[in-house]
Amino acid sequence: MAENYYYPKVMKNKNNPRKGGEEIGVLARNLLRNGKHRRNQASRAERLGLRLFKGGGRVFTKVKDVMTRTSTCLQMKHTARDALKIFIEKGVNGLPVEDEYGRLLGMVTKELIIKGMAESDDVSGDTPAYQFTKTTPIRVKEEAFVKDVWNLPGTAFPVFDASERFTGVVSADQLKTAYCWLAEYRVKELDAVFNSAHNGILAIDANGFITSFNPAAERFAKRSKEEAIGRFLTDVVVPTGLLEVVRTGQPQYGKKYQVGRRKYITNRTPIIQEGQITGAVGVFQDISEIEDVFEELSMVKELNKELETIVESSYDGIVVTDKEGSILRANQAFGRITGIQANKVLGKPLQEVIDSEFSGTSLVEMVLQRSGTVSIVYDNENTKNCLVFTANPVTNEQGEIARVVINVRDIGELNKVKRQLEQTKELSKRYKSELAELRLRLIHQEGIIAHSNQMERVLDLALRVAQVDSTVLILGESGVGKEVIAKVIHTNSQRREGPFIKVNCGAIPESLLESELFGYEAGAFTGASRTGKAGMFELAHKGTLFLDEIGDLPPTLQVKLLRVLQDKELVRLGGVKPRPINVRILTATNQNLLERVRQGRFREDLYFRLNVVPVFIPPLRERREDIIPLVQFFQERLSEKLGMKKEFSPEALEILVNYDWPGNVRELENIIERLFITSPGEVITSELLRRHLVQGEIRIEQVISVTGLIPLKEAVEEVERQLLEKALQRYDTTYQVAEVLNVNQSTIVRKLNKYKTYCRRWE
């Protein structure tokens, strides 16, 4: 098939048929015509692409793929005319000649015959063919590659198989044509690889002009191949590293760069031909997605490390197995609890490690059977501990159990921890009680009465802010005890050994307030001391300065106060030299400073500088639990001061509790002192008290509130219970309760026995 495909026989001319006596010239013309036909056929094959040397999905790369197969050899008897006829018949350029013993004498080709006839007149068609042989012909193997024999000297070569048996002839034209098409195929193959590469490939010449540009580079550069080829590098792409490679000849590997939001990595190498740098090639890849994957992988690694740390930090033992029961992971707590070394159980079946040690039951099999959580209690005879194993299945995306996580706990340790917790709670209660007692002692030492929750929170906050030097703004109505809280803060602070200076900004005239606060130099104004005078800030050095009624501070002094707070230094009136100060500022006001800021009457920056820690003291009407203790406190102090002892009647006490006290604690103290002095007897009655109070301001409580309908008897009993409960919370004896409720003491005792379930205090 191959010889008919490559070299078809020359058809005889029907108009001039010739037989055995044709002349050598005619044979030569036929050979030339045959050669022209082959050239035409090669041209046609060239037009058809790789069809000539490509078939069945493979490329013809060996001699056996392109040779002309024949077993015919010329004999000693064959003349030149016979040889040419055989050449035409077989479609070959030459054949080997063998002697009578079958030994190869040489190779006879049409070119040798034509050349011999042209060079000598003694040669004719009857000349023996062996005389045209070329000694020692080159033998070619069938399995030889075309690329290895395509340029052998000669025009035709005998071909032998692996057994050294003559199998045909291959011409130099066949080898060269096959090699050319093979080379072209390789070029097209490389071009296809170049165009199919996922990475961008770009090449430039020695002058920096682009010579190669694959489709991947088109996508990265947003330029077509036609727009890029022949243009200077920097006109097409941003990175200019290839120009540096051309200039220095040094390759660059793993270079990263960024264009917009996309990240790339490139390798750049010089193109060297015959020892000269003729250009450079760059291969670059978009690694934006890879960077994202790398970051995600790093996060996963970090998360995995964190999870491992969590597992190892668990106080409980943790074991992870696969669905076959082989142990994949065990933390150190597992070894501590069970007495089994965790690093020696990995890869072993759980049944051999745990189940055989504590029980004959397979824990993993139970989880697989139930498809849920399984808990088993084991008694460990070795460690004398009672252990609880809790196994939980872990399913994959298909809902199948892929892992089993087993949690191991020592109940003995839990009981020990429980006992320790109970002991800690007892200590906490004791410490809390001691702290409360210490707080009461402190409050008593400071002369503070605080029985209500509101005042307890105020005192707690005051004690906390006393430990720092932050500026405190004390808010509250007039008479609630703002100065007392300021003294508490100072007394319990680190400045307790320093002075505590009080200044009422609303009580000092504006013309004198500046000199009182900041001091003045000698001769600062008419009547000033010759030696000057230190202001309140300097007098409070290393101590506390309490500025009461700060809302009345004039605007001109607000600026100067702000400067002192910021710079921690002041300048005396009439002076120029700043003086450093170390003072903690406490301020107080009964005004709405924020409203004054909105009105432009108080500086906003000073307000925020003063309002670092606000402390609000509620009015007395909002903490009525403190009224009776305050009355008792003032009674004791006045009795000691005035040398007389007086008591309030229950009705008077009720009025004191229900009164709204617009003047707060100060008004309460003044009323009690007035009553002590003006009361003729030892008991201060409600009638005497009412004469000193404004009746419209006494709060009348609604004793009973009806929200629904119930039987009258049940309603009466409910009212009695509530009255008894309220009276018991306020008074200590049944006689006092009877006096307040205006009944006999025996009635109170009988009612208490009746409602003892609700009045357990008297059981």
Beta-strand pair 140-141/156-160: parallel
Q: Residue type at 385?
A: N
Question: What CATH number does domain 2-183 carry, 3.20.20.80, 3.30.465.10, 3.10.580.10, 3.90.1640.10?
Answer: 3.10.580.10
Integer-rounded Cα Rg, in Å, for the chain is: 58
In 3D space, the residue among 56, 64, 66 whose CA is nearest the CA of residue 178 turns out to be 66
pTM of the entire structure? 0.40
Higher-scoring residue by pLDDT: 578, 154: 578
If you count them, how many residues does the chain have?
763
Distance of CA 581 to the CA centre of its chain: 48
Percent of the chain with pLDDT over 90: 8
Distances (CA, A) of 355 to 317, 352, 360, 387, 756: 15, 6, 6, 12, 60
Decide if pLDDT at 13 tops 50. Answer: no
The helix/strand/coil state of 168 is: strand
CATH architecture classification, 621-697: Orthogonal Bundle (1.10)
Q: What is the pLDDT of residue 486?
A: 92
Cβ–Cβ under 8 Å, residues 175 and 150:
yes
Helices and strands, number each (H, E), in the chain: 30, 27
Cβ atoms < 10 Å from Cβ of 388: 15
Average pLDDT over residues 734-738: 84
Q: What is the DSSP letter of 708?
A: S
Decide if pLDDT at 31 tops 60. Answer: no
Q: What confidence category does residue 53 fall into, taking pLDDT thresholds of 50, 70 and 90? A: very low
- In 499-610, the DSSP E strands lie at 500-504, 544-548, 569-570, 579-580, 584-589
Q: What is the pLDDT of residue 515?
A: 85
Q: At 75, which helix (H) or strand (E)?
A: none
d(CA 550, CA 603): 12
In 3D space, the residue among 603, 610, 614 whose CA is nearest the CA of residue 565 turns out to be 610
Decide if pLDDT at 5 tops 70. Answer: no
Q: What is the pLDDT of residue 501?
A: 92
Q: Residue type at 350?
A: L
List the beta bridge partners of residue 544: 500, 584
Cβ–Cβ under 8 Å, residues 338 and 419:
no
Helix-helix angle 453-465:482-491, to 10 degrees:
40
Decide if pLDDT at 587 tops 90. Answer: yes
The helix/strand/coil state of 680 is: coil
Cβ atoms < 10 Å from Cβ of 712: 8
List the beta bridge partners of residue 37: none
Decide: residue 618, CB within 10 A, 0-12 exposed, 13-18 middle, 19+ buried. Answer: middle
- Asked whether the CA dihedral 637, 639, 640, 642 is positive or negative, the reply is positive
In 3D space, the residue among 484, 553, 548 whose CA is nearest the CA of residue 513 turns out to be 553
Beta-strand pair 584-589/544-548: parallel
Q: What is the pLDDT of residue 331?
A: 84
d(CA 360, CA 339): 18
Cβ–Cβ under 8 Å, residues 548 and 588:
yes
Asked which of 96-105, 197-206, 492-501 is least confident by mean pLDDT, the reply is: 96-105
Q: What is the pLDDT of residue 708?
A: 64
Average pLDDT over residues 644-663: 88
Burial of 602-617, coded b for 16+ CB within 10 Å and e otherwise, reads bbeebbebbeebebeb
Q: What is the DSSP letter of 539?
A: H
Average pLDDT over residues 681-701: 69
Decide if pLDDT at 48 tops 70. Answer: no
d(CA 136, CA 739): 151
Average pLDDT over residues 70-87: 86
Average pLDDT over residues 518-532: 76
Q: Give the dihedral of Cα atoms 306, 312, 315, 319; nearest 10 deg.
A: 110
Decide if pLDDT at 694 tops 70. Answer: no
Cβ atoms < 10 Å from Cβ of 320: 15
The helix/strand/coil state of 61 is: coil
Helix-helix angle 650-658:734-741, to 10 degrees:
70
Residue 443, φ and ψ in degrees, nearest 5: -65, -40
Distances (CA, A) of 110 to 77, 114, 117: 17, 6, 11
The helix/strand/coil state of 416 is: helix
Helix-helix angle 110-119:80-90, to 10 degrees:
150
Scan for tokens 């020990």, then name that residue.
416
Beta-strand pair 472-475/584-589: parallel
Q: Which of 345-349, 377-381, 597-601, 677-681 has the highest mean pLDDT?
A: 597-601
Q: What HEC string does 724-738 produce?
A: HHHHHHHCCCHHHHH
Q: Name, in order, each residue with C-beta under 8 angstroms of 170's C-beta and a sequence gap of 6 or more.
A: 63, 66, 67, 68, 140, 156, 157, 159
Cβ–Cβ under 8 Å, residues 262 and 286:
yes
Q: Residue type at 110?
A: K
Q: What is the pLDDT of residues 189-203, one digit of tens each?
A: 888 888 888 888 888
Q: What is the pLDDT of residue 436?
A: 61
Average pLDDT over residues 121-130: 80
* Tokens linked to 606: 């000073």
CATH architecture classification, 197-291: 2-Layer Sandwich (3.30)
Distance of CA 37 to the CA centre of its chain: 76
Cβ–Cβ under 8 Å, residues 200 and 216:
yes
d(CA 319, CA 345): 10
Q: Name, in order, each residue with C-beta under 8 angstroms of 315's C-beta and a sequence gap of 6 or more.
A: 333
> Which long-range CB contacts under 8 A does 645-649 form with residues at least 24 apart?
645/682, 646/675, 646/676, 646/679, 646/681, 646/682, 646/683, 646/684, 647/682, 647/683, 647/684, 648/683, 648/684, 648/689, 649/683, 649/684, 649/685, 649/686
d(CA 439, CA 445): 10
Cβ–Cβ under 8 Å, residues 530 and 579:
no
DSSP of 328-369: EEE-HHHHHHHSS-GGG-TTSBHIIIIIHHH-SS-HHHHHHH
Decide if pLDDT at 565 tops 70. Answer: yes
447-618, CATH topology level: Rossmann fold (3.40.50)
Q: What confidence category does residue 15 fall into, taking pLDDT thresholds of 50, 70 and 90? A: very low
Q: What is the pLDDT of residues 381-425, one digit of tens each?
A: 555 567 777 888 888 888 888 888 888 877 776 677 777 888 888
Q: What is the pLDDT of residues 307-337, one digit of tens each?
A: 888 888 887 888 888 888 888 888 888 777 7
Decide if pLDDT at 551 tops 70. Answer: yes
Q: Residue type at 428?
A: S
Cβ–Cβ under 8 Å, residues 453 and 466:
no
Decide if pLDDT at 8 tops 70. Answer: no
Decide if pLDDT at 186 tops 70. Answer: yes
Cβ–Cβ under 8 Å, residues 677 and 719:
no
Higher-scoring residue by pLDDT: 412, 519: 519
